[in-house]
Amino acid sequence: MKQFSIKRYYPIIVGLIVFAALSWGAAISCQIEWTGLFEGIGKGMFFLKNLFPPDWEAFPEMLQPALDSLILAFLGTFFGTLMAVVFAVLGAANIAHPIVRTISRFLIGLERSLPELFILLFLIAAFGLGSMPGIICLSLGCIGMLGKLLADAIEEIDSVLIQSLTAVGANKLQIIVFGIFPEILPKLLAYSLFRLEINIRLSVILGAVGAGGIGYELDYAFSMLQYHRAFSALLVVLVLIFGIEKLSAYLRNMLNIKANLK
């Protein structure tokens, strides 16, 4: 029987000590008050208690706002994906001019550096409240994420394919349509579905600040202290996100199966 040796656990012990020291230093730097933290947990539990039970009669009224959020996310993903493909083609080094690629990559990076809430507030100032600013905001968000992923996917395409098409006299548009798109189509669909999941979540947040949908209902219920109705809206949001994630995972698995069969 092996004897117990504390030396075996030195790395774990040292790691825990370092982690505790860094956490303590960060807490002091951020001026965290531990008494206030524990008091806040108690207040939070009291707040959660006020949410129960949900307002069951409010569920039929939540269906239309939930549908609005779905439409908002779908349209934002659709138009955003189309624009992202354009930016991806312009941002790929193996088919775009270096100057065009630099400009496209800069715009893609610029969009990723701007929070969606900032973009939405700017659009609300320009277009007013409603679904239009939300759709444009989600579409622009797709450019920053999908544009970069698809541009990287295009650059990973075997150069022999592009050289072969060029050798038989294909122009730039024909290379993109018959050479690039078939290669990136599985990734395009998978990335778009993943972005749709993100846009569903964002549509709830953006709805609370003026884009409409279930997010607006949630924010309105909390502002009017209608906690039971707010909990009903939260349950609808939970079902909405869970359902979209399951649908997206199923479609991505189908795409992977078809790609493997080919």
pLDDT in tens, 46-96: 778 888 888 888 888 888 888 888 888 899 999 999 999 999 999 998 888
**DSSP per-residue string spanning 86-106:** HHHHHT-TTTS-HHHHHHHHH
Residue 127 belongs to a domain:
yes
Which of 67, 95, 50 has its CA nearest to residue 236? Answer: 67
- Which residue matches tokens 């592009």? 162
Residue 245 zone, left/alpha/beta (φ > 0; ψ -120 to 50; rest): alpha
Residue 102 belongs to a domain:
yes
How far apart CA 126 and CA 7 sit, in angstroms, is: 65
Evaluate if pTM is beyond 0.85: no
Handedness of CA 26, 31, 35, 40 (dihedral sign): negative
Residue 21 belongs to a domain:
no
Residue 1 belongs to a domain:
no
Domain holding 170: CATH number? 1.10.3720.10
Residue 97 DSSP SS3: coil
Q: What is the DSSP letter of 2?
A: P
pLDDT tens readout for residues 184-233: 888 888 888 888 888 888 888 887 776 778 888 888 888 888 888 888 88
Range of the domain at 117: 56-261
- For residue 100, the model assigns a pLDDT of 92
Residue 13 belongs to a domain:
no
Domain count, the chain: 1
Give the number of other CB atoms < 10 A from CB of residue 131: 21
Percent of the chain's residues with pLDDT above 90: 15
Residue 104 belongs to a domain:
yes
pLDDT tens readout for residues 96-145: 888 999 999 999 999 888 888 888 888 888 887 778 888 888 899 899 89
**φ and ψ at residue 15, rounded to 5 degrees:** -60, -40
Which of 250, 247, 215, 249 has its CA nearest to residue 233? Answer: 215
Which of 120, 123, 147 has its CA nearest to residue 202? Answer: 120
Residue 146 belongs to a domain:
yes
Taking a C-beta distance cutoff of 8 angstroms, is the pair 261, 254 a contact? Answer: no
Report how far Cα 59 is from the mean position of its chain's Cα atoms: 26
Report how far Cα 231 is from the mean position of its chain's Cα atoms: 24
Residue 237 zone, left/alpha/beta (φ > 0; ψ -120 to 50; rest): alpha
Residue 170 belongs to a domain:
yes
